[in-house]
Amino acid sequence: MGRMKRHQLDAEERQRQATCLGDIADSGVDVFCWCNRCGHNAVIETARLMAELGPGFPVPEIGAKMRCSSCGSKDVATRPSWPSLGQVTRHD
């Protein structure tokens, strides 16, 4: 890959930042948690997480601090719980 393109890609990567708790709290969005081991999932209030972790804590890194309440696994993924669009297509 060319040097110029590598610099451009590196600059774009530095500009990308994970969504933080403070960002989604402003939008009224909570955090969706998913256990990669058993599939158990839950939605946790952003305000509760902000009280423990602070508003600058990145949402994807919250999973590393969690444990599944169903199986006890620490392999938990987290993301913003964006509102659903509802049923998009109909399968007959």
CATH class label, 19-80: mainly beta
Helix (H) or strand (E) run with residue 48 in it: helix 46-53
> What are 49-75's pLDDT values in tens digits?
999 999 999 999 999 999 999 999 999
> What is the reported pTM?
0.74
Flag whether pLDDT at 14 surpasses 80: no
Closest CA to 32 of 17, 13, 15, 19: 19
